Amino acid sequence: MGIIRKIFSVFGWIWRLPIVVKIILVGVIAGTGWFFYPKLTASSSSKPQYQTAKVERGTIIASVTATGTVATSNSTSVTTQASGVISKIYVKDGDTLKSGDKIADIDLDLQGKQRAAQSYASYQSAKNSLQTAKDKYYTLQSSMMTKWKTYMDTAQSSFYQNADKSPTENRNLPQFYSIMDDWLATEADYKNQEAAIAQSQTALNNAWLSYQQTSPTIYAPISGTVTGLSLQVGSFITAQTNSSGTSTAQRIANIVTSAPPTITVSLTEVDTPKVTIGNKATVTFDALPGKTFTGSVVSIDTVGVVSSGVTSYPATIKLDVPDASIYSNMGAQATIITDSKTDTLFIPSSSIQSENGSSSVRILTKNGQVEQNAVETGISSDTQTEIISGLSEGDTIITSTTNGTATQQTGNNTSGSIFGGGGFGRMGR
């Protein structure tokens, strides 16, 4: 209470002063405050404040990310060039078929019948060609064996062979070479005819497949599960042609195999050298939120694709297991694990300073002193960097410095992560 009375007595004394004196006194007080306040605040703010982190030990995973789509390598289209009215359907969506199973029957229209007849005529012609090639094969085989016997009888005669079965000088005579050449020529024709039969068989298979495309019965091209079947009994299938008037096939369903789907992603120039065949990956899909699938890299196209001056390299990721909810051409995001280390030291990447190929960090000692320490770095995730040497577990490092109201990040990691931004961070032990 005594102090309060003194304060009021002082202010009362000031209040009784003349107005001019009061104005001068207020100016003196304000000027003194203006002069000393910046120095006082500067003194209090000049001491830097540090944001710190500890050197930890655990597992660090380096990865790269890429986007792409689901490939169609585990499915094929069921197509037909026939035209007419659907008369019978043997399957429905979700049914499992074997290659060659019937899918539907078509009551062909006039144009469809004409196409089917032309295709069947081509098939019959190819079948006849194959039989002709086989007949010639048997004829050449018989001729070859006859020529071979003639040659052997001649070569083993006493005129061309001694009693100890060694050849005589008479084998140098032209008539001996003529007999031998006859046998070798028929043998060559026989072997060439084997290739002709194989070609005729291929032509026959092609003719049969062409006939199936125009036949009144639609068959399954491969074994698998039917999806996207668009046929209905009584619906009409019209003939399809391209701009040149050539008939083309129209798709009426898909068949999906049991093979795991593959994802095609585009890697950047920087990321491609880091990825190798066999790298593990995780894949997510926008259409399947909350689900993550695992797989591995099975191929990398190192030729690359250039678009608008930017080069990318397609890579294929095969998922570990099939999933019926994954459809062809779905958008996908992949995180490819390029390297990992367990039981290793790591720190936040933002705390590393790099200059002229050397890396260093600032350490806050136990007595509050700041020391610059050179370090050797290893792999990096999106936020953490491995420390090979230069630090110990538990060391306190400075990640950023605060001066007054400004915060400055410690790191100027110009060397960058050796693995472009990954989706994996660290897993502390």
Chain segment 252-275, per-residue pLDDT in tens = 898 888 888 899 999 999 999 999
184 with 249, same domain: the answer is yes
264 with 288, same domain: the answer is yes
If one counts every other C-beta atom within 10 angstroms of the C-beta of residue 342, the result is 11
Evaluate whether 250 touches 240 at the Cβ level (below 8 Å).
yes
The last residue of one of the domains, among 227, 256, 285, is 256
Residues 256, 264: Cα–Cα separation, whole Å: 18
- Residue identified by tokens 């062409």 is 210
Averaged confidence pLDDT in the chain: 83
- The answer for residues whose C-beta is within 8 angstroms of residue 21's C-beta and 6 or more apart is none
262 with 355, same domain: the answer is no
Evaluate whether 55 touches 395 at the Cβ level (below 8 Å).
yes
Structure tokens at 174: 């032209």
208 with 313, same domain: the answer is no
117 with 249, same domain: the answer is yes
Beta bridge partners of 24: none
79 with 212, same domain: the answer is yes
Print pLDDT tens along the chain (429 aa): 555 455 445 555 555 656 655 566 656 566 555 555 555 555 545 567 888 888 999 999 889 999 999 987 678 888 888 889 999 999 998 899 998 899 999 999 998 899 899 999 999 999 999 999 999 999 999 999 999 999 999 999 999 899 999 999 999 999 998 999 999 999 999 999 999 999 999 999 999 888 888 889 999 988 998 988 988 899 888 877 766 666 677 888 988 888 888 999 999 999 999 999 999 999 999 999 999 999 999 999 999 899 899 999 999 999 998 887 888 889 999 999 998 889 999 889 888 888 888 889 999 888 888 888 899 998 888 788 999 998 888 888 888 877 655 555 666 544 333 333 333 343 433
Residues 265, 70: Cα–Cα separation, whole Å: 9
The last residue of one of the domains, among 338, 358, 390, is 338
What is the pLDDT at residue 401? 79
121 with 244, same domain: the answer is yes
What is the pLDDT at residue 240? 72
The last residue of one of the domains, among 320, 338, 356, is 338
What is the pLDDT at residue 412? 55
137 with 246, same domain: the answer is yes
CATH assignment at residue 135: 1.10.287
252 with 110, same domain: the answer is yes
Find the domain containing 7 and state its range: 2-45
251 with 267, same domain: the answer is no
Count of structural domains, the chain? 4
- Residue identified by tokens 């290739």 is 195
107 with 19, same domain: the answer is no
What is the pLDDT at residue 405? 53
250 with 263, same domain: the answer is no
